[in-house]
């Protein structure tokens, strides 16, 4: 493991922090990390990683990649915990953000792959939309998986991003594509923590309730992987339904 880094030193020149929580992602991690290094940009980046009680080879895989990030003059923030059980996606994302210093946050799941122009395209949109969550179109792998969901999410018009927020499909911009100014995260107060919690949906609704907006880059900027071990399958449908009903009853988006 690379030496611990003092996360209290504020590097004001950093533009984007890539927020990368990791739990047992060894099978996909090489592709994910490689996609960071091939980004086409002239921005100042850092990668903020939190290992959430991994029991596979995820840490060892990152150790192999660490010199490549150093060679690319990229800041890296790393922390890890080794608890009996992982503390969940919301907790891991919060840890990543708390130790990061970038003005903008780019969220990335460890089983996904960024296309080379993701950072530049979303940054160019976000600089004029500092109170918005920015998403993008995506490609699903394996090819042909979740065709209906992919078509729905990628074909939403600008207006539908706001009018279809209570559909069964979740946020109208999917969490693995989120990019935002740090103030968006600070205003919401971070992600709900715990296991089997739809932290993205809760964050999404609270962001809208507080007057935040949503936009989407109409480019395919992420390869979004489908597999049976994805965290989303651990969340009970009733939990999501109850959150939706609560938001509707609150009439918070009038």
Structural domain of 240:
16-250
Give me the number of domains the chain comprises: 1
CATH code: domain of residue 30: 3.90.550.10
In a domain, 44, yes or no: yes
Is residue 9, in this structure, part of any structural domain at all? no
With cut-offs at 50, 70 and 90, classify the pLDDT of residue 167. Answer: confident
In a domain, 2, yes or no: no
Q: Which of 159, 155, 145, 128 is nearest to 223 (CA)?
A: 145
Specify the pLDDT at position 78: 96
- pLDDT tens digit string along 125-164? 999 999 999 999 999 999 888 899 999 999 999 999 998 8
Domain-located, residue 6: no
Kindly report the pTM of this predicted structure.
Answer: 0.87
């Amino acid at each position: 493991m690379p030496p611990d880094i003092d996360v209290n030193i504020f590097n004001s020149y950093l533009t984007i922090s890539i927020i990368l929580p990791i739990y047992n992602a060894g099978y996909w991690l090489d592709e994910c990390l490689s996609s960071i290094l091939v980004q086409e940009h002239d921005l100042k980046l850092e990668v903020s990683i939190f290992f959430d009680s991994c029991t596979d080879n995820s840490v060892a895989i990152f150790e192999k990649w660490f010199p490549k990030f150093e060679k690319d003059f990229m800041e890296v923030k790393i922390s890890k915990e080794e608890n009996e059980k992982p503390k969940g996606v919301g907790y891991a994302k919060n840890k990543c953000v708390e130790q990061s210093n970038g003005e903008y946050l780019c969220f990335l799941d460890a089983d996904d792959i960024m296309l080379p122009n993701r950072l530049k395209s979303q940054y160019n949109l976000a600089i004029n939309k500092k109170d918005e969550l920015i998403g993008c179109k995506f490609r699903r792998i394996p090819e042909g998986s979740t065709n209906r969901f992919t078509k729905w999410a990628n074909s939403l018009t600008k207006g539908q991003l706001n009018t279809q927020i209570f559909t069964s499909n979740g946020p109208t911009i999917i969490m693995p594509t989120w990019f935002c100014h740090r103030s968006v995260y600070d205003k919401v107060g971070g992600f709900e923590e715990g296991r089997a919690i739809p932290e993205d949906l809760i964050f999404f609704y609270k962001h809208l309730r507080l007057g935040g907006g949503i936009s989407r880059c109409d480019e395919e900027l992420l390869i979004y992987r489908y597999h049976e071990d994805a965290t989303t399958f651990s969340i009970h449908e009733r939990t999501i339904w109850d959150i939706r009903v609560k938001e509707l009853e609150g009439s918070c988006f009038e």
